[in-house]
Amino acid sequence: LFIVKYYNLSIYLSIYLSIYLSIYLSIYLSIYLSIYLSIYLSIYLSIYLSIYLFIYLFIYLYSA
- In whole angstroms, give the CA distance from residue 30 to residue 19: 17
**Chain segment 28-39, per-residue pLDDT in tens:** 999 999 999 999
Q: Give the pTM.
A: 0.47
Helix, strand or coil for residue 64?
A: coil
Residue with the bigger pLDDT between 28 and 5: it is: 28
| Number of residues that this document lists for the chain | 64
End-to-end CA separation in angstroms for the chain? 92
pLDDT at residue 8 in the model: 80
pLDDT at residue 3 in the model: 65
3: left (phi over 0), alpha (psi -120 to 50) or beta: alpha
Cβ neighbours of residue 64 under 8 Å, at least 6 residues apart? Answer: none
Is the pLDDT at 56 greater than 80? The verdict is yes
Average pLDDT for residues 23-32, to the nearest whole number?
Answer: 94
| Mean pLDDT over each residue of the chain, to the nearest integer | 89
